[in-house]
Amino acid sequence: MGKKKELEARIDRLKAKVRALKGKLGESAPAKAPATPSKAKNPISPLAPAAFPALPVIEGVAFAAAAAGVRYAGRTDVMLARIAPGASLAGVFTTSATRAACVLDCQAKLADTVDESAGAAILVNSGNANAFTGAAGQASVDAVTTAVADALGLPANRVFSSSTGVIGEPLPHERIVAAVPGLVDALDAEGMEAAARAIMTTDTFPKGASAEVETEGGVIHLAGIAKGSGMIAPNMATMLVYIFTDAKISAKLLQKMLSRQVDDTFNAITVDSDTSTSDALILAATGKSPAAEITDLRSKVAKDFEAALRGVMMDLAHQVVRDGEGATKFVEVRVSGAETVADAHKVAMAVANSPLVKTAIAGEDANWGRVVAAVGKSGAKADRDTLRISFGEMVLAEKGARVPDYSEEAASAYMKGQELVIGVDLGLGAAAKSVFTCDLTHRYIDINADYRS
């Protein structure tokens, strides 16, 4: 029963494999090593959005991008954002014990008591992470942020920097410093897309998202950009996110909203389980909207604003996964029925990070047994006999065994989709958590086996 269809499906899968191998062979055999890595050789992710979105201008913020030659040739690799006086800032950063000098610097500056009447600026370079570079690393941060502060007339403790690229190589900060005057001259309220392009490393598309909040006093706008693919971009200098809004809100409230929304958005994505030394997310609110100041987290406008912020964060987080190195499938691992959210998170991450689950997805193999095994190894409380595994709306296994009407054809057909939902219900409680990931393909190994060439 269904045996012929199963065989045909298998032949289809094998044919697809052969096509993929042939395609890869064609694209990975350069006659000689190129002198400079070219981004053009990195095909755009099949999961990319159709186009970069139209982002609203955020009053009080201007952007510029330039080609400073940090590492890449023939493309922009630094971006500057100037934020008007009176803005509130908030940030979240990698928890890595070996985090980069610029991350430590941002954290120290955000913890400072600041003169809110001053403006602020953010300077980001791609091509070099300035991580594990010792005292020279901090000196580079100082050189870059001081140059920007001087050029814009800002206190140095209001200039934030990020670096993304190779770890352990000294940052040629003099090239960035040399680019600062040009960046300042080019500042443009409509320069956000150019900024998004300048911070890319192996990203295959620039990432942006926006939202609007209607209030009685007027509209609040939000717009953000991101680079990287969670923990998967080469050199580990991975996720950088900058979100801007014209809302009027204190730094304290802004930080509170940001911190509590990061768990379900950026902390809920994984490409390859490798955490960066450089992850940084900075949120700036200029207060230029005519809307009234947000002062009470329980007010309708605060809730609407926080929902819009969450939406922008989730959108950018998903785009990071959609640009996961080598990704061909976007996967939500939706865990429910856990005793605690921590347990739900453990299970979701164990499934999303399992190389065996991720290679099965790449092969369009409905191998739900590997999901069971990942649940088992997660360390969370789980009971084989209350566990339910589903793909999309289709329940595959429950009460400790495969469902009686299990259909290999139906499960295999589901796996051919580009957007997949793997459901795990632990049957123990009411806590839930979704995590977003992609598959593990040959291209991931192509990109990472020799990234420094």
Tokens of 362: 């790449």
Let me know if 238 is a catalytic residue: yes
Mapped onto helix, strand or coil, the DSSP state of residue 133 is coil
CB of 295 vs a copy of itself, minimal distance in Å:
38
Backbone φ, ψ for residue 224 (5° rounding): -145, 160
Query: C-alpha distances in angstroms, 357 versus 94, 124, 321, 367, 438?
Result: 26, 35, 16, 7, 10
Site size for a copy of itself, by CB under 8 A?
A: 88
Q: Which of 238, 270, 328, 437 is catalytic?
A: 238
68, 124 in Cβ contact below 8 A? no
Could you say whether residue 44 binds a copy of itself (CB under 8 A)?
no
CB of 126 vs a copy of itself, minimal distance in Å:
15
CB of 419 vs a copy of itself, minimal distance in Å:
19
DSSP 346-388: HHHHHHHH-HHHHHHHHTT---HHHHHHHHHHS-S---TTT-E
Rounded Cα–Cα distance for residues 53 and 224 (Å): 11
348, 435 in Cβ contact below 8 A? yes
Q: 168 or 182, CB closer to a copy of itself?
A: 168
User: Taking CB under 8 A as the criterion, which residues in 231-250 touch a copy of itself?
Assistant: 234-236
DSSP 87-109: -EEEEEE---TT--HHHHHHHHH
Tokens of 95: 């928890």
Among 250, 359, 386, 407, binds a copy of itself (CB under 8 A): 359
User: Taking CB under 8 A as the criterion, which residues in 15-34 touch a copy of itself?
Assistant: 17-18, 21-22, 24-25, 28-30, 32-33
Question: Which range, of 48-56, 215-223, 282-290, 383-391, touches a copy of itself by CB under 8 A?
Answer: 383-391
Mapped onto helix, strand or coil, the DSSP state of residue 26 is helix
Among 202, 276, 286, 289, binds a copy of itself (CB under 8 A): 276
227 is in an annotated binding site: yes
Q: 32 or 252, CB closer to a copy of itself?
A: 32
Could you say whether residue 277 binds a copy of itself (CB under 8 A)?
yes
User: Taking CB under 8 A as the criterion, which residues in 305-334 touch a copy of itself?
Assistant: none
Could you say whether residue 442 binds a copy of itself (CB under 8 A)?
yes
CB of 323 vs a copy of itself, minimal distance in Å:
16
The residues carrying an active-site annotation are 238
**Residues making up the binding site for substrate:** 201, 227, 238, 325, 448, 453
